[in-house]
Structure 1
């Protein structure tokens, strides 16, 4: 059976990476999610995709230039579907406290060696505090992040985010001893999928929003798909 992950919550239905988006995902009975993390200036894990604030909040500057206490007051509904109430940038801790997901894909974008180390250590500490270490997979396309995960937090499950095929995704995933391969759906051929699964990888494909494509990838046998419309995916795959 193909599992469903809500992309940044339910990105197609509510402002991405906000509490309401993750609540919307859960309302559809989808209890797996994918989200993005950046550190605030005071080293708190903030749930936001871009390193800058402009696209989702309209504000200038980078996430890392602001303290968490300020970031949680910024309204992040600018780029998403229309939403009446303000939707602040959440701390990861807030989601861990309020959202009952059975599994979390936490994507960390490219980072310097130092920032990668700080980020993965913060994730491990927080996951441990909330008793969620076994429900988290940290994913990245960044060599620095994957190296830090390997060396500093080997207890956490990790995954490679692969968008392009110019480097063999399976080879890279094996090199970093990943358990999950988050594969751009355009790279998901039956041959690559089978090879990945035979080597023990959970294959999660993104971003899949069309019902016909959801069904086709499920028929291929993908382990999970990441979608902006978790309700639609749930309805499509349970027919």
Structure 2
């Protein structure tokens, strides 16, 4: 069975990376949730996708520049509450068995946050959630650091057209295979290069993102892969059960 992962909680259904969305996702029989983590200058880990506030909140500026607790003064758009901390998001999922796909983001200058890998791993360990967590990144240097500081936590490489440009298709995938338990590939790249990719990556280590309409979700649910990551987990659940 192909696992269903709620992308940013299910961002076509609820405000992305919001406590509301994460709670709603738990009402669906999905296997996992994906969310994103940034690090502020105060050392707080915040769950938000972009390195800047403009797209998803009522403020502008860089997430990295937040002072301690400032996130709770910033409203998400679409009545999504405030920007949650990683600890608050883990509170939502603490009573469940859902798989946690924790993506480590880069700052507004596209640089990895120094020490974020160890901080995320330490919190997952402290909360007793490391065994069901997967730390993810597009960047091989971040994945290598995760392997170094937290070899007991699984890793996932995100791979898209920019990854192909930067690293090459086969060379990049081989590099990511050395650093990751799972490779999640943008669906167009995966479809266009299916034969090449499945020759390199076993199906139980392969994922597709982000199919969102009925035909696309059904197509990927029918493929011999580990998972799909989707903004419409409700639709994916309905199609998988049909």
TM-score between the two structures when normalised by the length of structure 2: 0.87
The corresponding residue for 1:80 is none
Distance in 1 between the 2:149 and 2:85 partners? 22
The corresponding residue for 2:50 is 50
Secondary structure at the counterpart of residue 175 of structure 2: helix
Flag as ranges the 4+ runs of structure 1 deviating above 3 A: 110-117
Query: Is residue 2:12 matched to residue 1:12?
Result: yes
Distance verdict in 2 for CA 1:185–1:68, change over 3 Å: farther
The corresponding residue for 1:184 is 186
Coordinate RMSD, CA, aligned: 2.1
Q: Is the CA contact (8 Å cut-off) linking 2:22 and 2:92 kept in structure 1?
A: no
Q: Is the CA contact (8 Å cut-off) linking 1:117 and 1:145 kept in structure 2?
A: no
Distance in 2 between the 1:236 and 1:68 partners? 43
The corresponding residue for 2:209 is 206
Query: Is residue 2:85 matched to residue 1:91?
Result: yes
The corresponding residue for 2:105 is 109
The corresponding residue for 1:148 is 145
TM-score between the two structures when normalised by the length of structure 1: 0.88
Q: Is the CA contact (8 Å cut-off) linking 1:19 and 1:87 kept in structure 2?
A: yes
Query: CA deviation digits over 1:69-101, x for unaligned, max 9?
Result: 111231112xxxxx4x45111111111112235
Distance in 2 between the 1:201 and 1:31 partners? 15
The corresponding residue for 1:130 is 127
Superposed displacement of residue 192, structure 1: 4.2
The corresponding residue for 2:230 is 227
Secondary structure at the counterpart of residue 222 of structure 2: helix
Distance in 1 between the 2:175 and 2:222 partners? 26
Q: Which runs of 5+ in 2 are unaligned?
A: none
Distance in 2 between the 1:45 and 1:74 partners? 15
Q: Which runs of 5+ in 1 are unaligned?
A: 78-82
Distance verdict in 2 for CA 1:25–1:113, change over 3 Å: closer
Superposed displacement of residue 41, structure 1: 1.8
Superposed displacement of residue 140, structure 1: 0.8
Secondary structure at the counterpart of residue 26 of structure 2: helix
Q: Is the CA contact (8 Å cut-off) linking 1:72 and 1:91 kept in structure 2?
A: no
Number of residue equivalences: 231
Q: Is the CA contact (8 Å cut-off) linking 2:5 and 2:230 kept in structure 1?
A: yes
Distance verdict in 2 for CA 1:150–1:133, change over 3 Å: same
